[in-house]
Amino acid sequence: MKIIQLQTTDGLQKRVIRSTQNLRDWLEELGAPSSSYVLDANNVQRTDLEDLDENVVYSLAAFSPSRKRKRVSSELSSSTLAELIHSRSFDEAWQALEKLSRHYLGDGNETHDTICNPLKISRTWKGKDGALVKSLRDVCDEVKKSIQYPKDGRAGRVVGIRLGSGCGKSHLLLEAPRILQQHGIYITYNLDQLLTFDCQDGSKAVLLRTLLRLAKLPNKMCPRFIGSEAGQLLMKLDTLLLRAFVVHQLGMIESSIFIGVDEIMELQHQLVVKAVLSELGEVAVNCYHHNNHQQCNVFVSSLKEEPFSTASGRRIFRWSPPVPDESAAELILQPYTHDRDLNRCKVLAISAAGFHFRSLVFAAQAIAQDMAPSVQSILNSVIHRWRERVPESLFAAMRDYVLDSCRGLPLHRQSVQVHAMLESYLDEKLSLPPPLILGAFGVANAGNEEVDGASPLFGLFNCDFAYTDPAKHLEQFGLHFDIFRHSHDLSVLSSEVHVAVRGVKKDPAWY
């Protein structure tokens, strides 16, 4: 470490320098390119810190910094960054952006973008025999082929994931880069952010969000930057110019890129959503063609199916991750079971949560906190956690959906209102987690959090015998379903099945 003195056009400069790289960074701050060097009194070139003496005043090699470079190195004005991008001085523009963005890093109280809420598991479930990893790689390869060899003008470039609330979308978008060993950029539109600028021009805003996330700004701070004077000047730049800047910066990363965009429907306006999808697709294509075939995988999640098309009608790859199974429950439970029997805990968790990620996490946390956990006590806890997230008005729609499903009516044949209300809560198999079903039928209601153990619906989810006596478990399930069916006047067979007895005239629903 040395105190180096350097005579510049702005006067004598002094700086504590700790390494040769630190010296080069200082020269860049002063407006000199990274290839510059310093001269001693005899005009001898000095390039390494160990060659420099603290008692000597050095000069900069013959170099007159341009006005723009001096502005980048000193106090940045709001227009400097936009000017540098407009002149395609992307390297200098990135330095300027990093400096400006330091004022928006926040106070540390923002939600950490790399942690799901609630914190789920330290390791990611990869599916039975690695099915999730294989499926993820397969869809990335499919997108790459579509970009390499487009069959028509509608070839897909972006992957869409439609899953209900709590089905693991955010966790997957955060963990996929690690699974694929790619550089991850996570953009989310939730966290109660201000989305005014995104809705005004979704294409430019998502490009700026990508740059700001590269500069390590929290998602919640991105709208503040975009709303600043510098950000608004960037929003006035041409989209092609901003895209070129983004592609240039992504090209500085040696690995492939994974851009995960979460909860895109928070933008609410379909035209804006489609514009964002189109722009992200253009980024992916430009990365491939201009960054030496760099692969940029773009995955977008939504609670609803509706937005999955671009402004031009280009196809979106639909991807359905494998549904969690018992191995997922085991993985989630491991940090919470302590010295308890894992199989017993697994029975409790699956009874209360089914195979629904968020519910499994709630169940695992409840098991850890309960001295003598039971199916009822865990369900009580999980239902209480869900009630904080689901309005009471939805339970009536859930009840209608379950009854019609038992009658054999698929979702597309049920009322439009039910579909619209419940789509955000259904998983890939159009299933609801047990706590929501129990809440819908009043087995546990807002006034009484105790689950009614005598309810036939509770008996359907009670897996006490699942791992000790499978035959008894099947008998128990059949018995309680018959009681549940009878109490709601449901047919034995689906309404899709027509039973005819020769020579006998009966109402089609007689069975």
The domain spanning residue 22 has which CATH number? 3.10.20.90
Bond preceding residue 118 cis, omega within 30 of 0: yes
Residues 200 and 254 in one domain: yes
Q: What is the pLDDT of residues 217-234, one digit of tens each?
A: 999 999 999 999 999 999
Q: What is the pLDDT of residues 27-55, one digit of tens each?
A: 766 666 544 556 665 555 565 666 677 77
Report H helices in 34-130. Answer: 67-73, 78-86, 90-101
CA distance 203 to 207: 6
The answer to the question of residue 252 being in a domain is: yes
Where is pLDDT greater, at 109 or 12?
A: 12
pLDDT at 30 (0 to 100): 66
Integer angstrom CA distances of residue 103 from 57, 68, 250: 33, 21, 23
Percentage of residues of the chain with pLDDT beyond 70 = 81
Q: What is the pLDDT of residues 121-157, one digit of tens each?
A: 456 777 777 888 999 999 999 999 999 988 777 778 9
Looking at 9, 39, 65, the residue that finishes a domain is 65
Strand-by-strand arrangement of the 159-162 sheet: 183-188, 257-262, 296-302, 159-162, 317-318
Do the Cβ atoms of 243 and 275 come closer than 8 Å? no
Residues 121 and 158 in one domain: yes
Residues 149 and 202 in one domain: yes
User: pTM for the complete prediction?
Assistant: 0.75
Indicate whether 294 pLDDT > 90: yes
The answer to the question of residue 73 being in a domain is: no
Residues 305 and 380 in one domain: no
Number of domains making up the chain: 3
Q: What is the pLDDT of residues 402-443, one digit of tens each?
A: 998 888 888 878 888 888 888 888 888 888 888 889 888 888
CA distance 488 to 501: 25
pLDDT at 53 (0 to 100): 75
What band does 288 get if pLDDT is binned at 50, 70 and 90?
very high
The answer to the question of residue 492 being in a domain is: no
Residues 288 and 166 in one domain: yes
Q: How many CB atoms lie within 10 A of CB 162?
A: 24
The answer to the question of residue 26 being in a domain is: yes
For residue 467, the 8-state DSSP code is T
Q: What is the pLDDT of residues 180-228, one digit of tens each?
A: 999 999 999 988 888 999 999 999 999 999 999 999 999 999 999 999 9
Average pLDDT over the chain reads 82
Residue type, 281: G
Looking at 318, 338, 361, the residue that finishes a domain is 318
The answer to the question of residue 505 being in a domain is: no
Q: How many CB atoms lie within 10 A of CB 335?
A: 15
Tell me the two tokens of residue 441: 């039928």
Residue listed under structure tokens 């509706």: 306
Q: What is the pLDDT of residues 228-262, one digit of tens each?
A: 999 999 999 999 999 999 999 999 999 999 999 99
Bridge partners, 260 (sequence order):
186, 299
Residues 308 and 421 in one domain: no
Do the Cβ atoms of 217 and 105 come closer than 8 Å? yes
Residues 330 and 384 in one domain: yes
Residues 111 and 146 in one domain: yes
The answer to the question of residue 80 being in a domain is: no
Polymer length of the chain = 511
In terms of residue numbers, what domain contains 151?
Answer: 104-318
Residue listed under structure tokens 């523009």: 93
Domain with residue 111: its CATH number is: 3.40.50
Residues 30 and 135 in one domain: no
Bridge partners, 183 (sequence order):
257
Strands of 244-395, DSSP E: 257-262, 296-302, 317-318
Indicate whether 71 pLDDT > 50: no
The whole-number average pLDDT for the span 344-360 is 87
pLDDT at 94 (0 to 100): 95
pLDDT at 296 (0 to 100): 97
The answer to the question of residue 232 being in a domain is: yes
pLDDT at 248 (0 to 100): 97
Residues 343 and 414 in one domain: yes
Residues 295 and 373 in one domain: no
- Between strands 45-46 and 38-39, the pairing is antiparallel
Highest mean pLDDT among 79-88, 115-124, 415-424, 494-503: 79-88
